[in-house]
C-alpha cells in the first residue's frame, strides 16, 4: 500500500524527522489559509501516486497569497498521467543548500533490507543510479543493531553532516520496521541554509500482508484508492486491476491470468482487466468477480480462463451461469475450463449457449474475433 | 531419482487439522506420500486422517523421524511455525501459506541461511516428485513420470504446462512451484544446481514472471554452470508498469523486473524462450533429440 506524501510525512513527524511546516488542502481557499500560517513563499504539491509529477506541472512555488489561490486551483483541476488530483500539500518553501537521497528498501535479491544514501539527491536520482551507480552508497542490513549503533559509514566527510544524517537514518529505520514498510524514502533530504535537515519529499510503501498488525495504517488504504471499480473489488477482497482495453480477462492464479492477458494481446486484443479469482473459488465468488467486470463499461467481451487445481470447474461453471442470469450479461463470454471436475463443469456449460474453448490460445483468438464483429 | 523429496521422505503436515491442511493431506497420502504425522498445537495425541497429531514439531520429529514438513498454518502464525520446523531439525520445508509479512520472511531466510535448511515457498503450490511424493496442493493426476524438471513462480501456470507436457507424452522428474512472493525461501538459482546434479533430469523448464531479478540471476547461473538444457517462459509481457498483478512479487517498478529484461538475459545465456505455453513441449522435444 502506497502512502501519499502527506501521509508519509505525518509518520516521519511522529518519528521526530523534520518536514517543512504546512498542511493538506482540498480547495484554493484552504490552501490560502495554510499558506497564511506557514508564511510565503510556499510549495504547492499535487498528491497523486505517480512519479514525475513535478515535471508534469504538479508542483509549483507561490510567492503571494493570490498566487497560492490561482496555482492551487490549477493543480486541483489537473489530471496527472490519468489520475485526478484531489488534494494538494502546501508547504513553506525551503532555502536549500544541498540535497541528499536516503532510502531503506526490501532487497529481493539479498532477501534482506538495504539502506541507500547519496550525496546527489533530488529528482534525477534514478538517472544517477543508472549512469553513476558509484554515487549511491548501499548497505545491507544484517542486524538491526548495525543501524541502532551507527555501525555504517555513509560517504560524507563533514562530521556534523555525518552525525545528523546518521541520526535520521536511525529514526527512519525504526519507522521502517515499526510500520512493516517495504520502502521508506526521503528524496530529497534537504540541508537548509541554516543547517537544518528536512525531509522535503517522502515516499512510504507498507506491506499489504502485514496490515493486520497495523489497523491504524489500514485505515489509510481506503483514502489511497484511486479507481472506483478497483476500490469496490478490493472491498470484496478480489485481486483486480483495471486496464485500458476492452476485453475483460479473468482466471484463477496470478501467473495464469497474466499469461492470458499476454495471449489476448498476441491475438490482437486489448486486455481491460487483470482479475484473479484465487484458489478454490466458489460459485458465489465467481459471480461477484464477473459483476466487477460488468461495472467497466469499456468491456465489450470477457475471456474466462480456468485451470482447476483446488478450484473446481463445476463451481466456476455454476458461478458463470448465475452471473449471466442475475446480471443480465449481454456481452460475449468465452470460457476455457480445464482441470479438477472438468467434465462436470463442461456438462453444466453445455446446457447453455456460452462459447467454450479447449485451450488458452483458442480462447484468446475466439474472444478477439467476437468483439471485432 | 528426483530432487528435494522422494518416496522415502518422511513428511509431517503443520496445520493438519485445518480445512486446507486436512483436504490436501488426504490428497498427499492418496498420491503415495509418506505422511508420518501432523502438528496442531493443543490437539496433540489425537489421530487425524490415519496419522498421529502432535503439539509441536520437536515431538513429532522425535517420534516419527520426520525430515520434511508441509506448512498450511495461517499467515500470522507462519513465521513461528517455520522457525519451529527449522529448530526441530527439519531439512526440507514447503510453505503453502499466502500473505506472510515480508519482514517475517526476511527473518525466516536469515534463519535458513544459518542452519542450512531448505524452504520452498511461501505462497506456492509445493513440490511433486512424480510417482514418489507430493508436498502441497498440486493436482496429482496431471503428472507423468519422466525426465523433465520444472521450476515455476506461478501455481496454475505450472499445472497448465505440466498438463501440456503429459499430453505430449513428456514425463516429469520433479516439479516445484517456488511461489509468487518477493522474498522466497528458494529461487531459480538455488534449485537449478539440484536439477543439474540429478541423473534422472534431462531438461529443465523455468517459468518466470515479471518483477524482481531472479530470472536474470538464473540466466547468469545457467550461462556459467549448467550443462543441461534449460527452456524458459516469462509471463506478464503485457502487464503495465507500477501495477501489482496479484502476486506480491509481480510488479514492474522503475527500470527493473520487465519481461524484456528477463528475456534478453535468458537469450544471452542461450536459453530458448517459449512465446506461448503451448510451444513448450516442442522446445523440449527439440532439446531431447539433441541429447540422443
- What is the pTM for the complete model shown? 0.92
Q: Does one domain contain both A240 and A326? A: yes
Which segment, A151-155, A166-170, A348-352, is predicted with the most confidence on average? Answer: A166-170
Q: Does one domain contain both A191 and A233? A: no
Decide if B247 is catalytic: yes
Instruction: Please compute the mean of the pLDDT values over residues B28-49 and round it to a whole number.
Output: 97
- Structure confidence at residue B73 (pLDDT): 97
Instruction: Please compute the mean of the pLDDT values over residues B219-244 and round it to a whole number.
Output: 91
Judge whether A5 lies within some domain: no
Question: pLDDT confidence of B56, banded at 50, 70, 90?
Answer: very high
Question: pLDDT confidence of A31, banded at 50, 70, 90?
Answer: very high
Ordered by where they begin, the domains of chain B are 6-123 (3.40.50.720), 142-291 (3.40.50.261)
Judge whether A262 lies within some domain: yes
Q: Does one domain contain both A169 and A301? A: no
Judge whether A181 lies within some domain: yes
Instruction: Please compute the mean of the pLDDT values over residues A295-301 and round it to a whole number.
Output: 96
Average pLDDT, chain A: 93
Q: Does one domain contain both A205 and A340? A: no
Q: pLDDT digits over A119-145, tens only?
A: 998 878 888 888 888 999 999 999 899
Half-sphere exposure of B193 (CA within 13 A, CB side): 8
Instruction: Please compute the mean of the pLDDT values over residues A53-61 and round it to a whole number.
Output: 92
Judge whether A162 lies within some domain: yes
CA atoms of A334 and B173, how far apart (whole Å): 34
Q: pLDDT digits over B4-25, tens only?
A: 999 999 999 999 999 889 999 9
B124 vs A: CB within 8 A? no
Contact B217 A109 (CB under 8 A): yes
Burial (0-12, 13-18, 19+ Cβ within 10 Å), B285? middle
Instruction: Please compute the mean of the pLDDT values over residues B63-75 and round it to a whole number.
Output: 97
Domain endpoint, select from A64, A92, A120: A92
Tell me if A221 sits within 8 A of A237, measured CB to CB.
Answer: no
Question: Nearest C-alpha of chain B: how many angstroms from A194?
Answer: 34
Contact B137 A310 (CB under 8 A): yes
Q: Does one domain contain both A85 and A200? A: no
What total number of domains does chain A contain? 3
Residue to mutate among A258, A340, A363, with most B CBs inside 10 A, is A258
Give the residue numbers spanning the domain of A259: 228-372
The pLDDT of residue B255 is above 60: no
Q: Does one domain contain both A62 and A138? A: no
Contact B138 A309 (CB under 8 A): yes
Judge whether A329 lies within some domain: yes
Q: Which of A67-71, B116-120, B209-213, B283-287 has the lowest mean pLDDT?
A: B209-213
Judge whether A160 lies within some domain: yes
Q: Does one domain contain both A87 and A119? A: no
Instruction: Please compute the mean of the pLDDT values over residues B205-228 and round it to a whole number.
Output: 95
Domain endpoint, select from A185, A218, A251: A218
Average pLDDT, chain B: 94
Angle, vertex CA A176, rays to CA A174 and CA A180, nearest 5: 120
Judge whether A7 lies within some domain: no
Helix axes A360-371, A254-266, angle to 10 degrees: 50
Q: Does one domain contain both A211 and A240? A: no
- Structure confidence at residue A267 (pLDDT): 97
- Structure confidence at residue A125 (pLDDT): 83
Domain endpoint, select from A199, A218, A237: A218
The more confidently predicted of residues A220 and A187 is A187
Residue A248 DSSP SS3: strand
Q: Does one domain contain both A315 and A341? A: yes
Question: pLDDT confidence of A1, banded at 50, 70, 90?
Answer: confident
Report the candidate in A230, A166, A108 with the shortest Cα–Cα distance to residue B105.
Answer: A108
- Structure confidence at residue B254 (pLDDT): 52
Helix residue ranges per DSSP H, A99-179: 125-131, 144-148, 159-178
Question: Nearest C-alpha of chain A: how many angstroms from B237?
Answer: 6
- Structure confidence at residue B252 (pLDDT): 58
DSSP B148-185: EEEEES-HHHHHHHHHHHHHTT--EEEEEE--SSSS-S
> CA Rg, chain B, in Å?
18
Q: pLDDT digits over A82-96, tens only?
A: 788 999 999 999 999
Given A210, A261, A361, which is nearest B103 (Cβ)? A210
Residue A65: how many CB atoms within 10 A of its CB? 14
What letters, b where the CB count within 10 A reaches 16 and e where it falls short, cover A100-135?
bbbbbbbbbeebbbbbbbbbbbbeebeebbeeeeee
The CATH number of the domain holding residue A303 is 3.40.50.261
Q: Does one domain contain both A214 and A308? A: no
The CATH number of the domain holding residue A176 is 3.30.470.20
Tell me if A113 sits within 8 A of A98, measured CB to CB.
Answer: no
Dihedral over Cα of A113, A119, A125, A128: its sign: negative
Contact B159 A207 (CB under 8 A): no
Question: pLDDT confidence of B246, banded at 50, 70, 90?
Answer: low
Instruction: Please compute the mean of the pLDDT values over residues B167-196 and round it to a whole number.
Output: 97
Q: Does one domain contain both A67 and A173? A: no
Q: Does one domain contain both A237 and A368? A: yes
- Structure confidence at residue B256 (pLDDT): 66
Instruction: Please compute the mean of the pLDDT values over residues B105-115 and round it to a whole number.
Output: 97
Judge whether A350 lies within some domain: yes
% of chain A exceeding 90 in pLDDT: 78
The pLDDT of residue B1 is above 80: no
The CATH number of the domain holding residue A85 is 3.30.1490.20
Amino acid at each position: 500500500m502506497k502512502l501519499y506524501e502527506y501521509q508519509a510525512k505525518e509518520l516521519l513527524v511522529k518519528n521526530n524527522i523534520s518536514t517543512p511546516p504546512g498542511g493538506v488542502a482540498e480547495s484554493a481557499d484552504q490552501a490560502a489559509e495554510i499558506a497564511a500560517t506557514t508564511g510565503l513563499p510556499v510549495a504547492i504539491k499535487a498528491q497523486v501516486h505517480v512519479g514525475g509529477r513535478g515535471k508534469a506541472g504538479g508542483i509549483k512555488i507561490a510567492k503571494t497569497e493570490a498566487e497560492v489561490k490561482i496555482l492551487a486551483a490549477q493543480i486541483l483541476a489537473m489530471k496527472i498521467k490519468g489520475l485526478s488530483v484531489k488534494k494538494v500539500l502546501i508547504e513553506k518553501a525551503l532555502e536549500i543548500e544541498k540535497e541528499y537521497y536516503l532510502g531503506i528498501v526490501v532487497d529481493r535479491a539479498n532477501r534482506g533490507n538495504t539502506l541507500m544514501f547519496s550525496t546527489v539527491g533530488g529528482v534525477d536520482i534514478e538517472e544517477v543510479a543508472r549512469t553513476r551507480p558509484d554515487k549511491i552508497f548501499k548497505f545491507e542490513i544484517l542486524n538491526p543493531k548495525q543501524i541502532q549503533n551507527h555501525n555504517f559509514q555513509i560517504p560524507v566527510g563533514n562530521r556534523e553532516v555525518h552525525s545528523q544524517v546518521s541520526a535520521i537514518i536511525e529514526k527512519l529505520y525504526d519507522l521502517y520496521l515499526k510500520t512493516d514498510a517495504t520502502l521508506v524514502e526521503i528524496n530529497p533530504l534537504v540541508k537548509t541554509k541554516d543547517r537544518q535537515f528536512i525531509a522535503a519529499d517522502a515516499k512510504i510503501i507498507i506491506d499489504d500482508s502485514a496490515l493486520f498488525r497495523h489497523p491504524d495504517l489500514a485505515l489509510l488504504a481506503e483514502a489511497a484508492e484511486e479507481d472506483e471499480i478497483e476500490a469496490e473489488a478490493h472491498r470484496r477482497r478480489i485481486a483486480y486491476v483495471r486496464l485500458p482495453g476492452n476485453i475483460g480477462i479473468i482466471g484463477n492464479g496470478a501467473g495464469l491470468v497474466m499469461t492470458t492477458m499476454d495471449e489476448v494481446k498476441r491475438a490482437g486484443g486489448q486486455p481491460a482487466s487483470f482479475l484473479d479469482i484465487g484458489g478454490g473459488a466458489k460459485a458465489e465468488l465467481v459471480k461477484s468477480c464477473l459483476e466487477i467486470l460488468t461495472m467497466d463499461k469499456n468491456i465489450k467481451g470477457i475471456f474466462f480462463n480456468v485451470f482447476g487445481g483446488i478450484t473446481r470447474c463445476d463451481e466456476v461453471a455454476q458461478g458463470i451461469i448465475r452471473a449471466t442470469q442475475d446480471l443480465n450479461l449481454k456481452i460475449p463470454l468465452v470460457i476455457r475450463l480445464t482441470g479438477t471436475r472438468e467434465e462436470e463443469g463442461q456438462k453444466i456449460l453445455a446446457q447453455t449457449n456460452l462459447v467454450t474453448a479447449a485451450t488458452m490460445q483458442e480462447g484468446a483468438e475466439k474472444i478477439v474475433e467476437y468483439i471485432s464483429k | 531419482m528426483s530432487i528435494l523429496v522422494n518416496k522415502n521422505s518422511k513428511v509431517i503436515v503443520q496445520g493438519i487439522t485445518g480445512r486446507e491442511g486436512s483436504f490436501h493431506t488426504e490428497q498427499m497420502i492418496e498420491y503415495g506420500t509418506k505422511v508420518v504425522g501432523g502438528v496442531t498445537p493443543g490437539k496433540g495425541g489425537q489421530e487425524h486422517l490415519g496419522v498421529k497429531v502432535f503439539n509441536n514439531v520437536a515431538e513429532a520429529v522425535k517420534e516419527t523421524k520426520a525430515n520434511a514438513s508441509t506448512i498450511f498454518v495461517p499467515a500470522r502464525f507462519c513465521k513461528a511455525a517455520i522457525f519451529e520446523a527449522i529448530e526441530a531439525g527439519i531439512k526440507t520445508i514447503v510453505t503453502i501459506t499466502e500473505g506472510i509479512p515480508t519482514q517475517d520472511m526476511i527473518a525466516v531466510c536469515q534463519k535458513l541461511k544459518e542452519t542450512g535448511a531448505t524452504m520452498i515457498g511461501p505462497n506456492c503450490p509445493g513440490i511433486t516428485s512424480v510417482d514418489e511424493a507430493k508436498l502441497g496442493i498440486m493436482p496429482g493426476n496431471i503428472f507423468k513420470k519422466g525426465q523433465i524438471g520444472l521450476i515455476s513462480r506461478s501455481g496454475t501456470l505450472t499445472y497448465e504446462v505440466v498438463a501440456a507436457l503429459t499430453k505430449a507424452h513428456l514425463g516429469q522428474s520433479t516439479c516445484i512451484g517456488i511461489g509468487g512472493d518477493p522474498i522466497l525461501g528458494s529461487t531459480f538459482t538455488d534449485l537449478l544446481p539440484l536439477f543439474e546434479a540429478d541423473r534422472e533430469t534431462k531438461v529443465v523448464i523455468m517459468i518466470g514472471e515479471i518483477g524482481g531479478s531472479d530470472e536474470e540471476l538464473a540466466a547468469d547461473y545457467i550461462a556459467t554452470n549448467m550443462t543441461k538444457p534449460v527452456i524458459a517462459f516469462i509471463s506478464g509481457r503485457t502487464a503495465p508498469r507500477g501495477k501489482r498483478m496479484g502476486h506480491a512479487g509481480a510488479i514492474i517498478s522503475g527500470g527493473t523486473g520487465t519481461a524484456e529484461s528477463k528475456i534478453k538475459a535468458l537469450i544471452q545465456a542461450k536459453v530458448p524462450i517459449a512465446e506461448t505455453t503451448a510451444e513448450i513441449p516442442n522446445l523440449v522435444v527439440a532439446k531431447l533429440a539433441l541429447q540422443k
